[in-house]
Amino acid sequence: MGLKDAINKVVDNVKDTANEASHKSAAEGEQAKRDVAGDQMSVGENLGSMANQAKEELQGETAATKRDVRNST
């Protein structure tokens, strides 16, 4: 692997790590929103929040997987 490839790999890893952290934080925020609002949220709001949490968790896992695959090659 050349120097340029190594630098690109590091840059991509940093981006994926930041994306993973951002998405996981957003997922935790959705959980916290439901914990705080509790019964004040409608069923639709609660389901929407749960869907957003699942989406954010999936996106975070995707970023982590991309990084892991890149590092294993």
What pLDDT, in 10s, does the model give residues 34-73? 999 988 999 999 999 999 999 999 999 999 999 999 999 7
Q: Domain extents for the chain?
A: 3-36+43-68
Give the pLDDT of residue 11. Answer: 96
Per-residue pLDDT at 30 exceeds 90: yes
pLDDT at 70 (0 to 100): 94
d(CA 14, CA 48): 30
Give the three-state DSSP class for 51: helix
User: Which tokens go with 9?
Assistant: 């790999």
User: pLDDT digits over 2-25, tens only?
Assistant: 999 999 999 999 999 999 999 999
> What is the Cα–Cα distance from 35 to 50, expressed in whole angstroms?
11
